[in-house]
Each structure stands twice: as structure tokens, then as C-alpha cells.
Amino acid sequence: MKSKNFLDFLPNNFRHEKSFFTQKNLTDFEKLSNLSDLDINNIQRKSPLCGLNNLKKIRAIAIFKKEIEISPPEAYLLLHCGIGTIKSLSLSTPCELERKIGRLERNLRTKSETDITLNLLKEWIKRANQVQKSI
């Protein structure tokens, strides 16, 4: 059975990025979270099928996983709700996030597979504030 890595949760439209990172043995969220803009631009230049936005999304998800300890699917959900950085998460309120997630689910006519509660959102914002203060 194939072992799960950080990139396995990504949908099919990330196939080129997943393939590139797998070939380069960059499947660890620690390594992916440390990618600079220059690194991302170089990856895109070496492998033009890798989308710049997708590469930045993967880095953002890895940063959320590393710094806030949010699971990749939850981080992906935050990205779809317009929360792309730890700073933007720290400036949000739990009610605002809950409203954005609810709106996204209604627009997609689906319920997310993650079990996100108001208390969990408060915890994420608290951790984001702690990370922001340490920067």
C-alpha cells in the first residue's frame, strides 16, 4: 500500500505540482513551507505545467500546517474562504470565519468533510495571533 504524504489530499488539478514535488522528493510540509518566492518562480520556470497559483497555495497550506497545526484539508478550506496567510487568519473573528465557510458550503451545495466548530476557529485564531506576535 502506498504511504500517505502531505500532498496526497490535493485534488486532481494539482497533478503537475504533485508530480514535480514527488520527483524532487519534496513531499514534507516542513520543506514546502520554507519555499521562497524565488524558489516557486524557479520551479515554475523548470516545470511550466506547474501553476504559480497552485504552488503558492501548496506553500500556504504547508505554512498553516507547520505554524498553526491545521490539517491540509482545513487549510485548503481556509484558502477557498479567502484566508491565505497567518496574518489574515489572526485578523479574523470566529464568527466571520464561520460565516465564510457556511457561504462557501452553500455556494458549492455541499458540506465540508471537516468538523469545524466555533471553538476550533477560536483556537486557530489564537494560535495565529501567537505566531504573529513572535514574528
For residues 106 and 89, which has the higher predicted lDDT (pLDDT)? 89
For residues 27 and 63, which has the higher predicted lDDT (pLDDT)? 63
pLDDT for position 5: 77
Alpha helices for 9-93 (secondary structure H)? 15-23, 29-33, 37-46, 52-63, 72-80, 86-90
What is the pTM (predicted TM-score) of this model? 0.89
Q: Is the pLDDT reported for residue 99 higher than 60?
A: yes
pLDDT for position 51: 95
pLDDT for position 110: 74
